[in-house]
Amino acid sequence: MLKDSLPTYQTPRDKDLSVAQNLEVDLVLSFIDKHVPYFPPYYQTVRDSKKENRISDFLVHHFELCKNETGGYFPFRFSKNPTQSESGKETDIGVFVMTRNLKPLPIIEFEAKRFSESSNNKEYVCGLRGGIERFKRGHHSSHLRVCGMFGYVQNQTSYDWIEKVNTWIKELSENSLDPTIDWTDSKELLIKVGSFPYVEKLFSFHYRELSKDRISLWHYLIELSEIKN
């Protein structure tokens, strides 16, 4: 009886023109917009590490708690290090549709990077472990057109790091000699689209040379330094 009373979720049909193409991703992003501002205060109460992976564990836990506490029906699951059948590479956080109608593949994925005194902060953009670069090369989320990044700001301010990230991208657009990746489009730069308590939301649009298409990235820079009352 209980099973029969639970709401079920039907994925949008390909030919259903009344359903926006990115409806599910939009729902996830709206959920994040609503609940990510409450993460820094929560993190301060449970913090036992400043390491990236541990913070991502807390963030996933926070979003899952928010799902349960708000009481509404939200048919998506946040997960650490989502796997894919044809790739051994994993992003930091993925979001899945809670349905048996489809294989469990994330509909949006996020890379996470720390901004701190001890981090290689340029890896937010480029390098072997570069967050944006991995998306651009298709090493991450090659099956997706919309993904995101979480930046854990542990020193300085979000505005400082936004400026530095855009400076690094500009330098790559002017100086990179690597023919396998193209940074020259002005849309590669982060632009601010929203501001919440403790969080800055930005957007960037990136060309993927291998697949000859583009990927949109939503960036959330989250202030995780000590909160002063």
Q: What is the pLDDT of residues 193-212, one digit of tens each?
A: 999 999 999 999 999 998 99
Contact in structure between 84 and 105 (CB atoms under 8 Å) = yes
Report if residue 153 sits inside a domain. yes
Q: Considering its fold, how many domains does the chain have in total?
A: 1
Mean pLDDT of all residues in 75-101: 86
Distances (CA, A) of 66 to 15, 20, 42, 77, 142: 33, 25, 11, 11, 29
Report if residue 7 sits inside a domain. no
Q: Residue 32 sits in which domain range?
A: 21-223
Report if residue 73 sits inside a domain. yes
Report if residue 229 sits inside a domain. no
Q: Report pLDDT for 87.
A: 66
Report if residue 171 sits inside a domain. yes
Q: Is the pLDDT of residue 95 over 70?
A: yes
Residue 103: pLDDT band by 50, 70, 90 thresholds? confident
pLDDT above 70 as % of the chain: 88
Report if residue 161 sits inside a domain. yes
Half-sphere exposure of 207 (CA within 13 A, CB side): 13
- Measured between alpha carbons, how far is 24 from 113 in angstroms, rounded to an integer? 25
pTM of the predicted structure, to 2 decimals? 0.89
Contact in structure between 59 and 94 (CB atoms under 8 Å) = no
Q: Report pLDDT for 227.
A: 62
Give the residue, 13 or 29, on which the prediction is more confident: 29
Number of residues in the chain:
229
The tens digit of pLDDT for each residue in 107-128 reads 999 999 999 999 899 999 999 8
Helix (H) or strand (E) holding 221: strand 213-223
> What's the CA angle centered on 63, arms 61 and 69, to 5 degrees?
100
Within the chain, residue ranges assigned H as helices are 2-5, 23-35, 39-46, 52-70, 131-137, 158-175
Report if residue 131 sits inside a domain. yes
Report if residue 15 sits inside a domain. no
Q: Is the pLDDT of residue 84 over 80?
A: no
